[in-house]
Amino acid sequence: MAGGVAGDTLEEAGRTARAVGRTLRRKLPEILLGLAIVTTVLVALGFAGAVLDDVSISRNEAVATAEVLEGSTAARTLIRFPTPNGELRVPERGVYYPRGLTPGTTVEVEYDRTEPDLVRVAGRTAFSGLLPSLGLAAAGWVVFGGASWGVRRRRQASGSSRQASRSSSQTHQP
């Protein structure tokens, strides 16, 4: 009896998976456009967050000379700098706008006195990262928007060829 229940369950799971697959195929252009929109929104939110961090730093700005540390990655560049009270800070998230920094060098940084882990390279702002951010959003539209357009065109072409073959087979009937 257990084999029958398991078999019924597997059969139902298969029907459900096929139905989900049909729905996904039918909605694929909309899903791809949704991914392009999500990419754009995430880029906009990231830029807005960077602007807010810049405003916070500018509101309570302090300047220090920082050392770029070993162990930096593409995701974050580690620095160490002293605060006026003599405390050495190594922000966990690294420094904002680190382009061109190499370990062992020093760089002027600006940080928020009330939250010293908010630190950026002096003279750089969120607008320093605007072009790469716009590039990421554009790449999302090229990839996801282009794929959506391609799927729609392919469907229209196959739909019109099916219609043409149906109409030609109807005209040849005796």
At 1 the pLDDT is 46
Q: If 0-12 CB within 10 Å is exposed, 13-18 middle and 19+ buried, where does residue 40 land? A: middle
Residue 156 near residue 164, CB atoms below 8 Å: no
pLDDT under 70 in the chain at which residues?
Answer: 1-3, 160-174
Q: How far apart are CA 121 and CA 96, in angstroms?
A: 6
| Neighbouring residues of 90: CB distance < 8 A, sequence distance ≥ 6 | 69, 78, 79, 80
pTM of the model: 0.73
According to the model, what pLDDT value does residue 88 have?
A: 95
CA-CA-CA-CA torsion sign (151, 153, 158, 160): positive
Other Cβ atoms less than 10 A from the Cβ of 158: the count is 10
For residue 19, the model assigns a pLDDT of 86
pLDDT, position 3: 57
Tell the residue number behind the tokens 């061109």, with chain if given. Answer: 100
Given this model, what pLDDT does residue 150 score? Answer: 93
